[in-house]
């Protein structure tokens, strides 16, 4: 992962972690449920963005290297790995 991608991911994760702490305080302070749910949805959206960045990076680096390589088993493993991530999401 290049440094700019790593920096972006770390920044987004730190922001999400801060929001989660804020949600925890909201729960402790008995804040209105819908307001808490909105904050949870915001954190989920932030984590989805991190996931998208990570997937993009993986496809452009690891998967591209495997596809361009001469090892058919490695190519197949990489493709199955990516497909399995989406299969896990569908099961949720």
Mention every residue, 6+ apart, whose C-beta is less than 8 A from residue 16.
43, 46, 47, 50
pLDDT digits (tens, 9 = 90+) for 50-75: 999 999 999 999 999 998 999 999 99
pLDDT digits (tens, 9 = 90+) for 20-43: 999 999 999 999 999 999 999 999
**Domains of the chain and CATH, by start:** 3-91 (1.20.58.1000)
Helices (H), the chain: 3-28, 33-58, 64-68, 72-91
pTM above 0.75, yes or no: yes
pLDDT of residue 85: 86
At 11, the pLDDT band (50, 70, 90 cuts) reads: very high
pLDDT of residue 90: 64
């Amino acid at each position: 992962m290049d440094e700019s991608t790593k920096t972006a991911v770390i920044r987004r994760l730190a922001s999400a972690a801060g929001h989660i702490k804020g949600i925890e305080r909201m729960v402790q302070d008995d804040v209105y449920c819908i307001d808490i749910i909105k904050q949870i949805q915001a954190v989920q959206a932030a984590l989805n963005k991190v996931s998208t960045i990570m997937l993009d990076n993986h496809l452009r680096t690891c998967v591209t290297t495997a596809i361009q390589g001469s090892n058919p088993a490695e190519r197949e493993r990489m493709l199955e790995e990516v497909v399995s991530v989406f299969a896990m999401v569908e099961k949720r």
